[in-house]
Amino acid sequence: MITHLKGRLVSKKPGQAVVEAGGLGYELAVPLGTFLGLPEPPAEVALFTKLLIREESWDLYGFLTSLERESFLALTAVNRVGPKLALTIISALEPGELARALMTRDLSAIAGIKGIGAKTAERLMVELKDKAPRLAALAGLNQEELKMGASPPEAALGASPPGEEDEAVSALLNLGYTPAEARQAARLARSESGPEGDLGQVLRLALKTLTRVK
């Protein structure tokens, strides 16, 4: 079992990173938070990982934080939630926001995500009821924050270079949105963030826009 990987970041793009370690190149599927937190290649990186072995493929998933990995594992344990949908969920909602939504039974926060409807959101609430407190604890959420609905501190993702609108569109396409949805959301997000907004800010705003209009 591959639980972590340390090596040289060869390349990255929304949803994917390639890391060279021990003379081998590992292709990893990554959530948005991890992509935004990765440095520019080439650079040394360390990622938490999960290897899923299927009859037709071996798929490796990478995460900058243990909370991202634990959230991914919890989601993929839910009936009819596969790894692709799990990545979409923790890309649209940061793990801390996901933990808060589960703890406060905020169905709308989850049901608005691409590929998630009210029934799936309800199933997530039910099946992750016992795991939600652990995720909330890992996210550093206290009871007062949960009552007030305060946003958790931003994850220590590192600096992201200024993002262009087409980069945001590319990332949204990788998350399963249509070209029209991606372009409109990226345009609105860029307008809202202003010229100083980096790629991470633009993508977060775009995802919130897409969630609101779903």
In-domain check, residue 23? yes
In-domain check, residue 41? yes
Percent of the chain with pLDDT over 70: 85
Give the Cα separation of 30 and 13 in Å (integer): 9
Counting the structural domains of the chain, the total is: 3
| pLDDT tens for each residue of 67-85 | 999 999 999 999 889 999 9
- Is the separation of the CB atoms in 203 and 163 below 8 Å? yes
| pLDDT tens for each residue of 94-103 | 888 899 889 9
| pLDDT tens for each residue of 179-198 | 777 888 888 887 777 766 67
Tell me: do 73 and 85 sit in the same domain: yes
Give the Cα separation of 147 and 149 in Å (integer): 6
- Is the separation of the CB atoms in 68 and 47 below 8 Å? no
Residue-number span of the structural domain to which 10 is assigned: 4-63
Does the reported pTM lie above 0.85?
Answer: no
Residue 160 scores a pLDDT above 50: no
Torsion of CA 66, 68, 72, 73, to 10 degrees: 10
- Is the separation of the CB atoms in 69 and 4 below 8 Å? no
Q: How many Å from the N-terminal Cα to the C-terminal Cα in the chain?
A: 38
- Is the separation of the CB atoms in 71 and 50 below 8 Å? no
Give the Cα separation of 75 and 65 in Å (integer): 16
The CATH number of residue 59's host domain is 2.40.50.140
Which residue from 86, 133, 135, 82 is spatially nearest to 110, judged by alpha carbons? 86
- Is the separation of the CB atoms in 6 and 22 below 8 Å? no
Residue 115 scores a pLDDT above 70: yes
Cis peptide before 162 (omega within 30 of 0): no
The CATH number of residue 208's host domain is 1.10.8
Buried/exposed 62-80: b ≥16 CB within 10 Å, e otherwise? bbbbebbbbbbebbbebee
Strands 16-21 and 43-53, bridge-based pairing? unpaired
Strands 4-13 and 58-63, bridge-based pairing? unpaired
Tell me: do 52 and 79 sit in the same domain: no
Q: Taken in order 99, 101, 104, 107, is the CA torsion positive or negative? A: negative
**Structure confidence at residue 195 (pLDDT):** 66
Domain boundary among 19, 42, 63: 63
Two structure tokens written together for 30 = 């990554």
